[in-house]
Amino acid sequence: MAGEARRRRLRVLLARADAKTVNVTAIDAALVHGSAVREGLAARSNERLEFMGDAVLGFIVARWLFERYPDANEGELALRKSSLVSDLALAATAERLDLESLLVLGQGLAKMPSSRRRSVLADAFEAFLAALYLEAGLEKVAVFVVREHLIEHERVSPSIDDPKTVLQEWTQRRYGVVPEYRERPEGPHHDRTFFAEVAVNDEMLAEGSGPSKKAAQRAAAAGALERLRKKYDDLAPRELSAPRGANGGAA
């Protein structure tokens, strides 16, 4: 996307952040990946902004969790924060905000499937937050992050004990990888059952089924956790605290 069409999309993004007065050129660099610079398509990447955005996001998330979960201990707060600032969570928000259509990428990276660009999307989201912080201030960014990322993520994934979340956190912590799912549908289109297999480091751990891909994946993840808990002590079920209020706050 280039020219006026891109500027219009950037203005829509700024309006969503309640920052209409910010000049689009001030945030344009937040969406330029290093691959574009290496191929001579842009002058400066978003790497420095991503560095600052990571810190800004971390503070906002920590403050929100501290206030939203007054009974949570340090370990639970850290676990919740890890879930909220993961590449998977940030990329999901970036996709919902349609940041992908605004990314300036090198040709090789642009040809890769979207699933291979999750970390790029996550970095771009953090870089955008940094650019917004520099132009509009911390509290403007905080309101945007709470509304567009934290509350939305909590609505979609209300529990960090969701089997897929728990399995992913554990595999990242132990092996530095995320689980891989393979699905297949069976039955007529109007009455399909989905089957999913979950594997870690190419080892198939479990299979599950359900009326949708996500349900099948959750069932597979639950089966994998049941198997792994017999072998590893650090997968014991957790007791989690309840949030204060229904929607949380920006400050």
Do both 126 and 178 map to the same domain? no
Residue 247 has a pLDDT of 45
CATH number at residue 21: 1.10.1520.10
Res 224: pLDDT: 96
C-beta separation of 72 from 65 below 8 A:
yes
Annotated active-site residue 126? The verdict is yes
- pLDDT at residue 83 greater than cutoff 60: yes
**85 touches 150 (CB < 8 A):** no
| pLDDT (tens digit per residue) in 169-202 | 889 888 999 999 999 999 877 678 999 999 999 9
Give me the catalytic one of 50, 123, 126, 154.
126
Considering 127, 156, 185, which residue would you say is the last residue of a domain? 156
Q: Are residues 181 and 78 in the same domain?
A: no
Same domain, 38 and 129: yes
Concatenated DSSP letters for 88-146? HHHHHHHHHTTGGGG-B--HHHHTS-GGGGHHHHHHHHHHHHHHHHHHH-HHHHHHHHI
**pLDDT tens digits for 27-79?**
999 999 999 989 888 888 999 999 999 999 999 999 999 999 999 888 788 88
Domain co-membership, 148 together with 194: no
Active-site residue, from 54, 87, 123, 154: 54
Choose one of 156, 176, 203: the last residue of a domain.
156
Residue 76 and residue 53: Cα distance in Å, rounded? 23
| Number of domains observed in the structure of the chain | 2
Structural domain of residue 68, as residue ranges?
3-156
Q: Which position has the higher pLDDT, 248 or 16?
A: 16
- Answer yes or no: is 243 within a domain: no
Domain identity same for 44 and 19: yes
Average pLDDT (12-29) is 93
Q: What percentage of residues in the chain have a pLDDT greater than 70?
A: 92
Kindly state the average pLDDT of the residues 3-13: 89
**What is the mean pLDDT of the segment spanning 162-167?**
83
Whole-angstrom distance, CA of residue 233 vs CA of residue 221: 17
Contact predicate 201/180, CB 8 Å: no
Q: Report if residue 246 sits inside a domain.
A: no
Q: What is the pLDDT of residues 109-155, one digit of tens each?
A: 887 766 667 889 999 999 999 999 999 999 999 999 999 999 999 88
Residues 52 and 174 in one domain: no
